[in-house]
Amino acid sequence: MRKHLLSIAILTLTLTGSILVATPAAAQQKEATLRSILLEQFRNTWNKEDWYAPISVALEGLTAKQAMWKPADSVHSVGQLAYHLLFWNRDQLDKFYGRKRTPFSGDNNETFAFTEASWTTTVQQLNKVMADWEKAIETCDDATLKKWASAIDHVNAHTAYHTGQILIIRKLAGNWDPAKGVK
Protein backbone atom coordinates (compact mmCIF):
# COMPACT_ATOMS: atom_id res chain seq x y z
CA MET A 1 0.00 0.00 0.00
CA ARG A 2 2.80 2.44 0.90
CA LYS A 3 4.59 1.57 -2.32
CA HIS A 4 1.39 2.30 -4.26
CA LEU A 5 0.92 5.70 -2.53
CA LEU A 6 4.57 6.56 -3.17
CA SER A 7 4.12 5.77 -6.87
CA ILE A 8 1.04 8.00 -7.03
CA ALA A 9 2.91 10.81 -5.27
CA ILE A 10 5.85 10.56 -7.68
CA LEU A 11 3.52 10.46 -10.67
CA THR A 12 1.61 13.48 -9.35
CA LEU A 13 4.82 15.45 -8.82
CA THR A 14 6.06 14.49 -12.26
CA LEU A 15 2.81 15.53 -13.95
CA THR A 16 2.61 18.73 -11.92
CA GLY A 17 6.18 19.58 -12.87
CA SER A 18 5.39 18.95 -16.52
CA ILE A 19 2.34 21.16 -16.34
CA LEU A 20 4.28 23.95 -14.66
CA VAL A 21 7.04 23.77 -17.24
CA ALA A 22 4.55 23.84 -20.11
CA THR A 23 2.48 26.67 -18.63
CA PRO A 24 3.49 30.26 -19.47
CA ALA A 25 5.12 32.17 -16.64
CA ALA A 26 2.30 34.70 -16.43
CA ALA A 27 -0.28 31.96 -15.91
CA GLN A 28 1.85 30.39 -13.16
CA GLN A 29 1.99 33.64 -11.23
CA LYS A 30 -1.73 33.99 -10.61
CA GLU A 31 -4.18 31.16 -10.27
CA ALA A 32 -7.43 31.58 -12.17
CA THR A 33 -10.52 32.09 -10.07
CA LEU A 34 -14.19 32.10 -10.94
CA ARG A 35 -14.12 35.90 -10.73
CA SER A 36 -11.03 36.27 -12.94
CA ILE A 37 -12.44 33.92 -15.58
CA LEU A 38 -15.85 35.63 -15.69
CA LEU A 39 -14.21 39.07 -15.79
CA GLU A 40 -11.89 38.03 -18.60
CA GLN A 41 -14.82 36.64 -20.60
CA PHE A 42 -16.87 39.74 -19.89
CA ARG A 43 -14.13 42.18 -20.86
CA ASN A 44 -13.43 40.21 -24.06
CA THR A 45 -17.07 40.62 -25.07
CA TRP A 46 -17.25 44.28 -24.04
CA ASN A 47 -14.09 46.32 -24.56
CA LYS A 48 -10.91 44.23 -24.53
CA GLU A 49 -9.75 43.01 -27.91
CA ASP A 50 -8.48 39.45 -27.73
CA TRP A 51 -9.43 36.57 -30.01
CA TYR A 52 -12.33 38.51 -31.50
CA ALA A 53 -13.64 42.06 -31.61
CA PRO A 54 -15.71 43.09 -28.58
CA ILE A 55 -19.05 44.88 -28.82
CA SER A 56 -17.54 48.32 -28.14
CA VAL A 57 -15.26 47.94 -31.17
CA ALA A 58 -18.01 46.38 -33.29
CA LEU A 59 -20.19 49.48 -32.78
CA GLU A 60 -17.39 52.04 -32.98
CA GLY A 61 -17.67 54.69 -35.67
CA LEU A 62 -21.05 53.52 -36.93
CA THR A 63 -23.55 56.21 -37.87
CA ALA A 64 -27.24 56.00 -37.02
CA LYS A 65 -28.06 55.58 -40.70
CA GLN A 66 -25.54 52.72 -41.01
CA ALA A 67 -26.98 51.13 -37.85
CA MET A 68 -30.40 50.98 -39.57
CA TRP A 69 -29.19 48.99 -42.61
CA LYS A 70 -30.35 45.40 -43.00
CA PRO A 71 -29.11 42.95 -45.63
CA ALA A 72 -32.62 41.44 -45.86
CA ASP A 73 -36.05 41.94 -44.31
CA SER A 74 -35.66 38.78 -42.25
CA VAL A 75 -32.40 39.95 -40.65
CA HIS A 76 -31.95 42.43 -37.81
CA SER A 77 -30.00 45.65 -38.23
CA VAL A 78 -26.93 46.48 -36.14
CA GLY A 79 -29.05 48.98 -34.23
CA GLN A 80 -31.69 46.37 -33.45
CA LEU A 81 -29.03 43.94 -32.22
CA ALA A 82 -27.38 46.63 -30.08
CA TYR A 83 -30.76 47.52 -28.56
CA HIS A 84 -31.48 43.82 -27.94
CA LEU A 85 -28.17 43.48 -26.06
CA LEU A 86 -28.96 46.63 -24.09
CA PHE A 87 -32.40 45.29 -23.17
CA TRP A 88 -31.24 41.87 -21.95
CA ASN A 89 -27.96 42.92 -20.33
CA ARG A 90 -29.79 45.66 -18.43
CA ASP A 91 -32.58 43.24 -17.52
CA GLN A 92 -30.11 40.76 -16.03
CA LEU A 93 -28.21 43.52 -14.22
CA ASP A 94 -31.45 44.79 -12.70
CA LYS A 95 -32.28 41.24 -11.65
CA PHE A 96 -28.76 40.86 -10.18
CA TYR A 97 -29.29 43.95 -8.01
CA GLY A 98 -32.91 43.13 -7.17
CA ARG A 99 -34.16 46.25 -8.94
CA LYS A 100 -37.46 46.64 -10.76
CA ARG A 101 -37.04 45.22 -14.24
CA THR A 102 -38.37 46.69 -17.48
CA PRO A 103 -41.78 45.20 -18.23
CA PHE A 104 -41.59 42.40 -20.78
CA SER A 105 -44.58 40.83 -22.52
CA GLY A 106 -42.71 37.66 -23.47
CA ASP A 107 -42.45 38.67 -27.14
CA ASN A 108 -38.72 38.84 -27.85
CA ASN A 109 -39.41 40.97 -30.95
CA GLU A 110 -39.99 43.96 -28.66
CA THR A 111 -36.35 43.70 -27.50
CA PHE A 112 -35.23 44.70 -30.99
CA ALA A 113 -37.12 48.03 -30.93
CA PHE A 114 -34.75 50.55 -32.44
CA THR A 115 -35.02 53.80 -34.36
CA GLU A 116 -32.39 55.86 -36.10
CA ALA A 117 -33.02 58.64 -33.57
CA SER A 118 -32.20 56.35 -30.64
CA TRP A 119 -28.78 55.21 -31.93
CA THR A 120 -26.54 57.47 -29.84
CA THR A 121 -28.56 56.82 -26.69
CA THR A 122 -28.58 53.06 -27.31
CA VAL A 123 -24.77 52.93 -27.60
CA GLN A 124 -24.28 55.17 -24.55
CA GLN A 125 -26.69 53.14 -22.44
CA LEU A 126 -25.17 49.84 -23.58
CA ASN A 127 -21.71 51.07 -22.57
CA LYS A 128 -23.09 52.19 -19.20
CA VAL A 129 -24.75 48.82 -18.58
CA MET A 130 -21.57 47.01 -19.55
CA ALA A 131 -19.48 49.21 -17.23
CA ASP A 132 -21.98 48.54 -14.43
CA TRP A 133 -21.83 44.79 -15.10
CA GLU A 134 -18.04 44.86 -14.95
CA LYS A 135 -18.16 46.64 -11.58
CA ALA A 136 -20.78 44.18 -10.30
CA ILE A 137 -18.60 41.20 -11.22
CA GLU A 138 -15.52 42.84 -9.70
CA THR A 139 -17.12 43.82 -6.40
CA CYS A 140 -19.83 41.32 -5.49
CA ASP A 141 -19.15 38.87 -2.70
CA ASP A 142 -18.06 35.32 -3.53
CA ALA A 143 -21.43 33.76 -2.67
CA THR A 144 -23.25 36.12 -5.05
CA LEU A 145 -20.68 35.52 -7.76
CA LYS A 146 -21.06 31.77 -7.43
CA LYS A 147 -24.87 32.06 -7.51
CA TRP A 148 -24.73 34.26 -10.62
CA ALA A 149 -21.84 32.56 -12.46
CA SER A 150 -24.04 30.75 -14.97
CA ALA A 151 -26.14 33.85 -15.71
CA ILE A 152 -22.98 35.97 -16.17
CA ASP A 153 -21.58 33.31 -18.49
CA HIS A 154 -24.82 33.49 -20.50
CA VAL A 155 -24.60 37.30 -20.66
CA ASN A 156 -21.06 36.91 -22.00
CA ALA A 157 -21.99 34.27 -24.59
CA HIS A 158 -25.10 36.20 -25.67
CA THR A 159 -23.07 39.38 -26.15
CA ALA A 160 -20.38 37.53 -28.13
CA TYR A 161 -23.00 35.82 -30.31
CA HIS A 162 -24.74 39.05 -31.31
CA THR A 163 -21.41 40.87 -31.74
CA GLY A 164 -20.56 38.26 -34.36
CA GLN A 165 -23.83 39.01 -36.14
CA ILE A 166 -23.08 42.73 -35.99
CA LEU A 167 -19.68 42.19 -37.59
CA ILE A 168 -21.17 40.10 -40.40
CA ILE A 169 -23.81 42.78 -41.08
CA ARG A 170 -21.15 45.49 -41.09
CA LYS A 171 -19.04 43.46 -43.53
CA LEU A 172 -22.04 42.97 -45.82
CA ALA A 173 -22.79 46.70 -45.63
CA GLY A 174 -19.18 47.52 -46.46
CA ASN A 175 -18.64 49.67 -43.37
CA TRP A 176 -16.39 47.39 -41.32
CA ASP A 177 -12.69 48.22 -41.07
CA PRO A 178 -10.80 44.88 -41.05
CA ALA A 179 -7.91 46.62 -39.27
CA LYS A 180 -10.14 46.51 -36.19
CA GLY A 181 -9.52 42.80 -35.84
CA VAL A 182 -11.77 40.74 -38.09
CA LYS A 183 -10.79 40.40 -41.72
- What is the pTM for the complete model shown? 0.81
Burial label, 29 (beta-carbon count in 10 A; 0-12, 13-18, 19+): exposed
What are the DSSP calls for 18-58, one per residue? Answer: HHHHHS-HHHHHS---HHHHHHHHHHHHHT--SSS--HHHH
- List per-block mean pLDDT (blocks of 10 residues) for the chain, which spans 183 residues: 35 33 54 95 89 91 96 92 97 97 92 93 97 97 97 96 95 90 72
Using one digit for the tens of pLDDT, what is the confidence trace for 123-145?
999 999 999 999 999 999 999 99
Q: Which of 73, 48, 40, 72 is nearest to 163 (CA)?
A: 48
Q: What is the DSSP letter of 72?
A: S
The angle, 0 to 180 degrees and rounded to 10, between the axes of the packed helices 34-46 and 119-139 is 170
